[in-house]
Amino acid sequence: MISRTAFGSSYKEGWKIFRIQKEQIDLLFQMLYILFIPGNRFIPTRANKKFKENDKELRLVLMGIINKRKKAIETGEGNFDDLLGLLLESNKKEIEEHGVGLSMEDVIEECKLFYIGGSETTSNLIVWTMVCLSLHQEWQIRAREEIIQVFGGTNHEFDGLKNLKILTMILNEVLRLYPLVVMITRATHKTTKLGNMVIPSGVELSLAMMYIHHDCEIWGNDVNEFKPERFAQGIGNATKGKGSSPFFPFSNGPRVCIGQNLAMTEAKTTMAMILQRFSFDLSPSYQHSPFRGVHSSTSVWCSLDSTKDFITFMYK
């Protein structure tokens, strides 16, 4: 979905990028947590060598996708209705009007971030949703009934997704309990007043999303329980009078995640298709043991087991 909607690319090209980036994450863990030596990235270990090889291969693949799109746009054959097209067109105008813009390196980094960020976060949201619905069968039944009522047995239309109120409540509660990112960092670029504090320019602030999403003063004493009904009246009414600000699974403000709407659309569509066709439960061998994993510049919650290991499907 990311390859097609964001880059107008093919599944084959996308799969290659995902494979390389997944391997890079594994290598990064080895480099960070196995060899505690200053400057260890310069030591010619097997992991360091493979990391550099993968980085070079990834750059070539992405440069091929970007150059192919730039050429198509120049000849009038390209379109601007996906992320890469909008990015290149906007950058072209910026260069023409102001003489500066994103370099090829900048565009490549943006593509790398969107590929890995979009796939990791959305897949984690879907997996945790299935875990929660396996643990709470009553909500699985309610979500399925709503989906059948809205779509019946037909394919899903985009306009119908906004009518999935129960599924939206479920996804919001999953995002609260298992946010896609457990912490985000922001830096002040000028002296900033925050409440009673005056923060100088250049200070990094870490916003502990996981902590805030589990604060009983904001969410109530049932903060650690799976209760989608808390979002029945919208996000603003779920936080004990604190408004919508304490709920920020995709960050907030001018730096909000540009993939938020795409991620929620993907999650709703995928869960609707699954619930329409299957019922599922946790495998008896599943052990609930989440841990924090790192991808790109963010941190996400992962599970020790893969989806196939802890979900038992029963075809309906």
CATH code for position 236: 1.10.630.10
Percent of the chain with pLDDT over 90: 36
Q: Among 57, 74, 102, identify where a domain stops.
A: 102
The answer to whether residue 115 sits within a structural domain is no
Query: What is the predicted pLDDT for the residue at 227?
Result: 97
Q: What is the per-residue burial (b if ≥16 Cβ within 10 Å, else e) of 281-300? A: bbeeebeeeeeebebbebbb
Residue (of 182, 127, 205, 130) closest to 293 by Cα position: 182
Residues annotated in the binding site, as ranges?
Answer: 257
The answer to whether residue 125 sits within a structural domain is no
The total of structural domains in the chain comes to 2
Q: Is 237 helix (H, G, I), strand (E, B) or coil?
A: helix
| Residues sharing a CB contact under 8 Å with residue 197, sequence separation 6 or more, in sequence order | none
Residues annotated in the binding site for heme, as ranges?
Answer: 257
| Residues sharing a CB contact under 8 Å with residue 230, sequence separation 6 or more, in sequence order | 173, 219, 220, 238
Residues 199-227 have a mean pLDDT of 93
pTM of the model: 0.79
Query: What is the predicted pLDDT for the residue at 41?
Result: 63
One-letter amino acid for residue 250 of the chain = F
Confidence band for 298, pLDDT divided at 50, 70 and 90: very low
Q: 167: domain range?
A: 138-182+210-316
In the block, tokens 């996000």 appear at 235
pLDDT per position as a tens digit, 133-157: 999 999 999 999 999 999 987 777 8
The answer to whether residue 120 sits within a structural domain is no
| pLDDT at residue 86 greater than cutoff 60 | yes
Two tokens, residue 147:
């989906």
The answer to whether residue 315 sits within a structural domain is yes
| pLDDT at residue 316 greater than cutoff 90 | no
Residue (of 18, 1, 20, 33) closest to 292 by Cα position: 33
Residues 165 and 286 in one domain: yes
The answer to whether residue 36 sits within a structural domain is yes
pLDDT per position as a tens digit, 63-72: 888 888 888 8
Residue 292 β-bridge partners: 301
Query: What is the predicted pLDDT for the residue at 33?
Result: 62
| Average pLDDT along the chain | 83
Confidence band for 240, pLDDT divided at 50, 70 and 90: confident
| pLDDT at residue 165 greater than cutoff 70 | yes
